[in-house]
Structure formats: structure tokens, C-alpha cells
Amino acid sequence: MDLFATIFVDGLIYAAWLFIVSVGLTLVFGVLNILNIAHGSLYAIGAYTSASMVGAYFGVGGDAFPWGSYVALIAAAILVALVMGPLLERGLLRFFYGRDEVLNVLVTYAVFLILEDAMKLIWGVNPYYVYEPYTLLGDVELGSLFYVGYDFAVIAIAIVVGLAVWMSLNRTRTGKVVLAVIHDPEMSRTMGVNVPRIYLGAFVAGAFLAALGGAVTAPMISVQPGLGVNVIIVAFAVVIIGGLGSIPGAAIGALMVGISRAASVHLLPEAELFIIYFVMAIVLMFRPEGLFAKTQARKI
Amino acid sequence: MKQTIRTICATLALATGLSAPAMAQDDTFKIGVITFLSGQAAESFGVPAWNGGQLLIDMLNEGGKLPAPYDKPGFGGMKIEAIVVDEAGGATKQVQEFRNLVQREQVDAVVGYVSSSDCLAVPPVADELKAFTILYDCGTPRVFEDNSFEYVFRTAAHATMDNVGLARYLKSRGFEVDSFAGLNQDYAWGQDSWADFTGAMAQLYSDATVKTALFPKFGAGQYGTEISALLREKPALIHSSNWGGDLQSFLLQATARGLHKRTQLALSAGDHVIPQLQDKMPDGIVLGARGVNGLLAKARGGDLQPLTDTLWDSYMERYGVIPVQAPFRMWQGLLGLKMAVEKAMDDNGGKKPTDEELAAAMKGLSWDAPSGRIEMALGGGHQAIQPTAIGVTKWNNETKMMELVDIEYFDARCVNPPEGMKSQDWLAQGFPGAQCD
């Protein structure tokens, strides 16, 4: 396969994974105005939960119908969102709405550290494997290279997630209410919008997307402590490039990071890490608010 | 008033005395063991090492459980008492933990450190405190090539051995390598391993070209792009010193894309993922274990087999899993400490040895371990050399166990530089003084 086609395919696969991980982060920031560092922990909990659930599925005779493991992956993400979303948003974050953004970063960082240790208490330090869903879809031959079919399924999931989030926000009544809350929560409240419910819904959706990222990643890797740290750093780079709070921005940011990283690995491997942050720096030089974030006037 | 002050002072003095750690006693030998109990290195190295350490300490305290000369109880009759400390947290924390062990816990010796950065940070403090210290695991050659220490010893060979052994194996077994590539973690271990491997290959396969050298970040997890690059480059061989979750993830993703069918994989330190991956690890991978450890030791035979079998069987019985490289290195460290303690006691009339006496006894010492004969032959008698071995993975469908076949064993002096020569100089000059008969 042509080098540039290989770079494009590799970049697309990586970008798809990045987008799934990042879109929840940008959604939570857009609605709640919270830069949620604990997003990385929710990703890791999604990976652990899906590893446990898929493992349990095959443990109770799932071999007879292995496709059911995909249902277990999605169910794990839903479970994490329904448990962790309300717990964090209602139990902690709501007390910090309207406070300084830096304080919220510190609060979510504290949550991140607590959850890292909580995961060790629950799942221990030994790795978990759920490779079965990774190989179920077979191989895809592109030119002289083989790809795993699962990688293309991740691209499909990213497209579905992107469209679903965009359509929900822009083509539904609830979405318009959410946009109203983003624009002006106080005015929305006076118009009868249940703002705390919107905040809760948005945070649960963000938690689901983080956990979904972890769940779809689990079959590809050895799930073990420390997963969340690496993810949150690169996810921040993506949403900062795209503009905090912008869904299309997250998509473009993921594509830029994915393809530039793939190009670097193929053409200049020494710069693999550098290139991601170089792209981010270039974007911020010309668009300090990111590619798609709207410039906002300071209120005071 | 004076009476009150005296009473308070007396109470405080009594309380301080009660809360202070027990003074070292002559009938116990207290060691501080530092290894990873959490974090990414815990599952691969730290926990198996400490499991092996606990097992050996229990067996030594009981006495008569190991073959001679290790059949006498404890260390020279003294009961061994261990305090284990988690190595996670970075070098600064470990220096503080080291001071705590020596000054507050008053341990008689410290045995520890998987991380090379900890192995570089702790020795100056050990010498400052005059505290006898054994580095049992870490790989960087720089500890004794760039420095010298009075109270610090490393009982395992440094990492140059792993990659020289790997290159020698390829040559000896007739692998045709006209080109090769590397995928190593982007930190000191990965960079140094790649430098050692390319240095050895330059001598043994002088016509081979390097197709690409990839250094994904530590903990990357996703290797799809790197695997595409390796598939496109079509090197005859891929070298990797990856370990732990990074190695497991790479193998899962690479085998799913058939990388192992198109090129020869050579893993310099990969034996420790066998218990986790089992049949998910493909056949035909050239594999090292940083010494004659794990399956490589089990298959060796010879005079050391009773000692190896003791470790193997007792570890399997207690933990239900095969011992990989980490417990072997812990055993060679603790058995070396036992020999040093008993040698020092022979010299001082049977008293509990001081740090100075221990250091004098350990310098240039040699002893048998399950991984082979350990000789403190480098770094002025402070750095060990040991034999190594390389094999090839093969799944046994009857036993449902991974095996290593086509194993080749290398003498310590064939794969380690001679005394007084730095590893990189030794490689660049074509292994002068190597004894490979």
C-alpha cells in the first residue's frame, strides 16, 4: 500500500479512538464549564469494567455466541456512566459550579487520584485481557498490509458517536435546551429549564463516552493501572486544538493529531511525541482559543 | 514547678524510648526490601520478586529446605526479618525511604530497586550513611561504570548482557539478518537496550542495516501505527526490550496483524509475560529472560538443578504460577547476602557483621544461584556477572504450557565486558577479552 495511504489509514484509526475519548471531555466542558481531569479515570474504569464483564460473559459459556461480547462492552460503558456520572456530578461537582475554573480542575484532579487508587482496590494491580472481541471481526487486507477488522469497527463507532452527539445537540428539542444552558444558564433557569438536570445529563453522557473509549480499547491492550494518565494528556491536546467545548473541533483535532502522529511514526519516528504538541502549539499561535471555539467577550 | 517539668521530661523520654524502633538484635538480621508493589512494574517484576523473596526468607528461617551450602537456618543462624517498601513514587521518594529504613528502622542491609533511576539515586546516599546495600534487579550499566561505591553491590548482571546474548544467539543459530528494526520504550531502558543491541549487531552482522528505530512512549498501549511501519519496512528481525503491559499489548496487536509471520521477533527481556499470555504468545519468538532465569533455568539441568528445582517447585506450590525472571534475581541477591553474612561471621568470630565487614565479605564474592554462578567480577568487585541464555517460544498443546526450545547458554565472560572496560567501548571494539568457548 502506498505510504501516504498507510499514513492516512493509521491516522484515521488512531483519530477515531482519540475522538471517542475526547468528545466526552469537550462535551462536559461545553455544558458544565469544567475541565474534567477525572475523564481519564472514567476511561480506565470503562476499560476495567468491560474487561470484567466480557471475561464473565465468556466464563458463563459465551463461547457459543462470542458476538455477545460486543453487547457486554457497550453495557459496561452504560453501567459506568449510570453509576459514576450521578455519583460524581450530584455528589461532588455541583457544589463547585460557578467557582473558579482552576478550583474545578483541582477538584477533578483530586477525583482522578482517588479513582486511580480505588481501581487498584477493586481490580488489583494485575492485568486483565479480553482479546476475543479484537479478533472476532477478522483481518482486512489493504494492499500489502493486514489490518484488524476491529480497528475499522472503532472508526464506525466514532462516526456514529460523532453524529449522535451532533444530532442530539442540534436536531432535538433537548439539544436546543442544552445549547440554551451553555449559552446562558441563568436565563435558561428563568425560562423554566431544569438546569441541574441538564448538567447531570451532560455529565452522564460525558462519562458514558469516556467509558465507551475505555471499553472499546480494552480488547486491544492489557488493562492495568495507569491507563487513565496517558489518555487524559493526549485527549486534552485534541480538545485544545479543536477548541474547548466544540464537537466538530474534537473531530478535527483528533484527525490532526492522529494523522500527524502517523506521519511522524512512518517518516520521522524520533518526533512521534513532539509532533502532537507541535501541532497544538502551531494552532494556538494563530487561534489561541482553538480552531472551533467561539471568541467570548470578557464579562467584567 | 521543677518537679512537673522533670515529670514531663521523664514521660517524654519514656514515650520516645517506647516508640523508637527496636534496636537491632544479634539473633535477627533485619533487611529492608524495596520493589514495586504498585504501578506498571509491579505485576511484571515487583510482585513476583517479593513473592520469591518471602518464599526464600521463610525457607531459610525454617532451615534445611535448600540444598547445601544454603541448608543452615537464616543468615548464619540469625532469623531473617524483612520490611518491604513499595518502590513506586520516583527516585526522590526512594531516597527518603532508604534513609527511613537505615536510620529509623535500623535495618542491617537493604535489598532493592528495579528502576534504573532509583539505582542511580540511592547509592550515593548508601555510601553517605555507610549502609550495606544490594541492588538486585536494575539494568543500567552506569551504576558502576561511571561511579564507584564502597557499600553498594549489584548482584545481577547489567543490561548489556541481555542484548549481547541475543545478538550472539542469532549468529550462533544461523539467523540470516540483513536488516533489523527496533521497537523500544522511550526512556533510559529502551534507549540503552537498543544502543547495546545495535552495537552488538554491528560487530556480528556488520552488513545488516537498521530499517527503523521506533520509540513509542512508555505506557502507549496502542501500537497500530508502529506495526504498520514495521510491516512496511519488512526488516528481517525486530528487536524489542519492551516489558509489562507495553509488551503484552504490542504482542496482542502485532500477532493479530500477522507481524510475527512476516518477520522474526526477538525480545530481550520477554519471558515474564508468558504466564499472562500463554498461548496468545506466538511460537517462534526469540526470547531472553535477563539471565538463565525462569523456563531457561528449568530446562538447563546440571549441578544447579536441585537449587533451581527448589525455587521452581516451591514457588509453583505457593503461588500456582511459574516463576519468571524477577524471583530468580531476588533469590540470587538474597543468597549472595546470606553467603556474605556467613563469610563475614567466619572472619569475625561469629558475631553479627557490621556494614564494613559485610562490604568486605561481599567484594569479589561468588556463589551459586538458581540462575547460575554469580561472580562479583566488575566494578572493583561490586558488580556481578552471570551466565545468560536465549531460547525460542513453542506452545505445548499437551501440557497447555508455553515452552522454550532451541536454548543456547552463554558463559558470563562471553556476554559481559571485562573488568575496567565500559560496555559501549567493549561493543565498539568488538568484544575484546570475551571468552565464548
Domains of chain B by residue range: 18-158+303-385, 160-289+387-428
Query: B221 and A134 in contact by Cβ < 8 A?
Result: no
Among A129, A147, A265, beta carbon nearest to B214: A265
Cβ count near B7 (within 10 Å):
10
Residue B17 scores a pLDDT above 70: no
Chain B residues within an 8 Å CB radius of A265: 214, 225-226, 228-229
| Beta-ladder partners of B182 | B213, B239
How many whole angstroms separate alpha carbon A136 and alpha carbon B251? 17
Residue range B203-232: mean pLDDT, rounded: 93
Residue A189 scores a pLDDT above 60: yes
Residue B24 scores a pLDDT above 90: no
Confidence of residue A76 (pLDDT cuts 50, 70, 90): very high
Residue B1 scores a pLDDT above 60: no
Chain A residue whose CA is closest to B278: A129
Query: A269 and B228 in contact by Cβ < 8 A?
Result: no
β-strands B366-369, B372-378 pairing: antiparallel
Report the C-alpha dihedral over residues A92, A94, A99, A105, rounded to 10 degrees: 50
Query: A230 and B232 in contact by Cβ < 8 A?
Result: no
Q: In what order do the strands lie in the sheet with B264-267?
A: B209-214, B179-183, B237-240, B264-267, B286-288, B388-396, B401-410
Chain A residues within an 8 Å CB radius of B47: 125-126
Residues A199 and A31: beta-carbon distance below 8 Å = yes
Q: What's the Cα-to-Cα distance from B293 to each of A279, B327, B371, B404, rounded to whole Å?
A: 45, 9, 5, 12
Cis amide leading into B216 (omega within 30):
no
Chain B residue whose CA is closest to A12: B225
Chain A residue whose CA is closest to B44: A126
pTM of the model: 0.87
Query: A265 and B231 in contact by Cβ < 8 A?
Result: no
Residue range B118-139: mean pLDDT, rounded: 96
Long-range CB pairs of B349-353 (<8 Å, 24+ gap) are B350/B76, B351/B26, B352/B24, B352/B26, B352/B29, B352/B78, B352/B108
Model pLDDT, residue B413: 96
Model pLDDT, residue A125: 75
Model pLDDT, residue B14: 45
Confidence of residue A81 (pLDDT cuts 50, 70, 90): very high
> Cell 494492499, residue?
A143
Chain B residue whose CA is closest to A144: B232
Interface test mutation site (partner A, options B225, B247, B257, B272, max chain A beta carbons within 10 A): B225
Chain A residues within an 8 Å CB radius of B231: 144-146
Residue A245 scores a pLDDT above 90: no
Residue A143 scores a pLDDT above 90: no
Residues A237 and A256: beta-carbon distance below 8 Å = no
Helix residue spans in B243-323 (DSSP H): 244-256, 259-262, 274-277, 295-298, 305-319
How much of chain A exceeds pLDDT 90, in percent? 69
Same fold, B18-158+303-385 and B160-289+387-428: yes
Among B225, B256, B276, beta carbon nearest to A134: B256
How far B174 CA lies from chain A's nearest CA (Å)? Answer: 28
Give B346-363 pLDDT, tens digit per residue.
999 999 999 999 999 999
Residue B23 scores a pLDDT above 70: no
Confidence of residue B3 (pLDDT cuts 50, 70, 90): low
Query: B280 and A131 in contact by Cβ < 8 A?
Result: yes
How much of chain B exceeds pLDDT 90, in percent? 84
What chain A holds in terms of domains, given with CATH numbers, is 3-286 (1.10.3470)
How many whole angstroms separate alpha carbon B56 and alpha carbon B75? 12
How many whole angstroms separate alpha carbon B265 and alpha carbon B242? 12
Give SS3 for B178.
coil
Chain A residues within an 8 Å CB radius of B226: 265
State residue B66 phi and psi, 5-degree precision: -115, 155
Model pLDDT, residue A295: 62
Q: What is the mean pLDDT of chain A?
A: 91
Residue range A14-35: mean pLDDT, rounded: 92
How many whole angstroms separate alpha carbon B296 and alpha carbon B291? 8
Among B37, B38, B249, beta carbon nearest to A220: B249
Model pLDDT, residue A226: 80
Minimal CA–CA distance to B300: which of B348, B252, B372?
B372
Q: Does B214 touch chain A (CB under 8 A)?
A: yes
Residue B13 scores a pLDDT above 70: no
* Cβ within 8 Å of residue B141, ≥6 positions away: B158, B159, B160, B192, B422, B423
Residue range B323-332: mean pLDDT, rounded: 97
Determine which of B101-110, B147-156, B267-276, B367-376 has the lowest per-residue pLDDT on average: B267-276
Model pLDDT, residue B201: 97
Give B65-89 pLDDT, tens digit per residue.
999 999 999 999 999 999 999 998 8
Residue range A141-169: mean pLDDT, rounded: 92
Cβ count near A159 (within 10 Å):
13
Model pLDDT, residue A1: 65
Amino acid letter at B28? T
**Chain A residues within 8 angstroms (CB to CB) of chain B:** 1, 3, 6, 9-11, 13-14, 17, 120, 125-127, 129, 131, 134-135, 139, 144-148, 151, 217, 220-222, 224-227, 229-230, 261-262, 265-266, 269-270, 272-273
Nearest-5° Cα angle at A60, A55 to A64: 95
How many whole angstroms separate alpha carbon B361 and alpha carbon B133? 13
Query: B245 and A139 in contact by Cβ < 8 A?
Result: no
Model pLDDT, residue A288: 86
Q: Does B319 touch chain A (CB under 8 A)?
A: no
Confidence of residue A222 (pLDDT cuts 50, 70, 90): confident
Residue B408 scores a pLDDT above 90: yes
Residues B291 and B331: beta-carbon distance below 8 Å = no
Residue B133, C-alpha cell as written in the block: 546495600
Model pLDDT, residue A204: 96
Model pLDDT, residue B16: 45
* Cβ within 8 Å of residue B41, ≥6 positions away: B87, B114, B115, B243, B244
Chain A residue whose CA is closest to B229: A266
Query: B43 and A11 in contact by Cβ < 8 A?
Result: no
Query: A230 and B219 in contact by Cβ < 8 A?
Result: yes
Give A83-120 pLDDT, tens digit per residue.
999 999 999 999 998 888 889 999 999 999 999 889 98
How much of chain B exceeds pLDDT 70, in percent? 94
Residues B12 and B21: beta-carbon distance below 8 Å = no
Query: A224 and B217 in contact by Cβ < 8 A?
Result: no
* Cβ within 8 Å of residue B10, ≥6 positions away: none
Half-sphere exposure of B232 (CA within 13 A, CB side): 21
Domain B18-158+303-385, CATH: 3.40.50.2300
How many whole angstroms separate alpha carbon A282 and alpha carbon A280? 6
Residue A19 scores a pLDDT above 70: yes
Residue A244 scores a pLDDT above 70: yes
Among B228, B253, B276, beta carbon nearest to A10: B228
Question: How far is C-alpha A143 from the geometric centre of its chain's CA atoms?
Answer: 31
Count of pairs with CB atoms under 8 A, one residue in A, one in B: 118
* CATH fold of the domain at B160-289+387-428: Rossmann fold (3.40.50)
How many whole angstroms separate alpha carbon B87 and alpha carbon A45? 25
Determine which of A18-27, A243-252, A287-296 has the lowest per-residue pLDDT on average: A287-296
Model pLDDT, residue A144: 80
DSSP single-letter state for residue A67:
T
Residue B22 scores a pLDDT above 50: no
Among A10, A13, A135, beta carbon nearest to B256: A135
Among A9, A127, A146, beta carbon nearest to B257: A146
Residues B58 and B82: beta-carbon distance below 8 Å = no
Among A220, A266, A269, beta carbon nearest to B253: A220
Query: A225 and B38 in contact by Cβ < 8 A?
Result: yes
Q: Does B379 touch chain A (CB under 8 A)?
A: no
* Cβ within 8 Å of residue A4, ≥6 positions away: none
Q: What is the mean pLDDT of chain B?
A: 92
Query: A272 and B39 in contact by Cβ < 8 A?
Result: no
For chain B, the maximum distance between any two Cα atoms, rounded to a whole number of angstroms, is: 90
Among B43, B217, B228, beta carbon nearest to A126: B43
* Cβ within 8 Å of residue B308, ≥6 positions away: B297, B298, B300, B370
Q: Does B221 touch chain A (CB under 8 A)?
A: yes
Residue B18 scores a pLDDT above 50: no
Q: Does B258 touch chain A (CB under 8 A)?
A: yes
